[in-house]
Amino acid sequence: MAKAKNTDKLVVQNAAKTLLANIRFASVDDPIRTITVTSSIPNEGKSTVSINLAQAIATSGKSVLLVEADMRRRSLSDMLGVRSRGGLYAVLSEQISIDQAIVETGQKNFYFLDAEPHIPNPADIIVSHRFSKLVKALSAKFQYVIFDAPPVGTFIDAAEIASLTDGALFVVREDFTKREEALNAIGQLKKSEKVKLIGTVMNYCETETSEYYYSYYTKDGKKVKKGSDDQGASKKGIFTNRANV
């Protein structure tokens, strides 16, 4: 899903709505509400996917919190254009409350929790009991919580966060990520029995027609055709859902 021109925004929005629908259908009996978004290496567009998915959720009328969980390479605050008085570390160390740290993004139903720069020992923080309690507290406050985690191939953080959430989305950038890198990263996620891999998002892809996203679901949400992995949007910067969903 990455960067797109104004003329492409509608296609991106429909792609995000399709991804959200697939996530919902992935586990009807046990709905997925907390999601970890990661990739194998940096610069695959996972943060853009996280933002667009959050926007799709908010547009659907559900409350969503996007959490900056990439403590070593923060990017969401600048991308969203919002600032907060404190973030994850301040909340976990009880310097401020959750409500004081969470900020509005300017879009109805869409909220953001940042992470401070230069947090010491992010891996130790993520495996702490306090972080686990925070995940539960956030899921109780919002209908959806998205954690934008670091790449799996770089740090263990993503796998640890994913083990605390309902599932993980794995972002792959077309013609950028090496097959071995992607397979190793997925293997790392699957090492934990607690991690549920929801599916893979192909990012920066270019396919044949944008009709797929407009005909996949009718206005009332009914599925009208399956489509195939080779169908999608014609513009670069659009993701497709090629996954177990």
Task: Provide mean pLDDT across the span 233-237.
Answer: 35
Query: Which pLDDT tens digit goes with each residue over 98-117?
Result: 999 999 999 999 999 999 98
Q: What is the domain count for the chain?
A: 1
> Tokens 């909220």 sit at which residue?
111
Entry pTM: 0.81
Expressed in percent and rounded to 5, the helix, strand and coil fractions of the chain are 35, 20, 45
Residue 1 lies in a domain: no
Structure tokens, 16: 């995000």
Residue 193's CATH number:
3.40.50.300
Tell me the residue range of the domain where 208 lies. 6-241
Q: Are strands 110-113 and 103-104 parallel, antiparallel or unpaired?
A: antiparallel
**Residue-wise pLDDT tens digits, 162-215:** 999 999 999 988 878 788 888 888 888 888 878 999 988 888 766 544 443 333
pLDDT of 167 reads 93
Establish if 221 belongs to a structural domain: yes
CA angle, residues 80, 115, 201, in degrees to nearest 5? 60
Residue 104 domain flag: yes
**Tokens representing 205?**
């892809």
Answer yes or no: is 73 within a domain: yes
Looking at residues 126-131, what average pLDDT do you find? 95
- CA angle, 144 as apex, 142 and 147 as ends, to 5°? 110
In a domain, 142, yes or no: yes
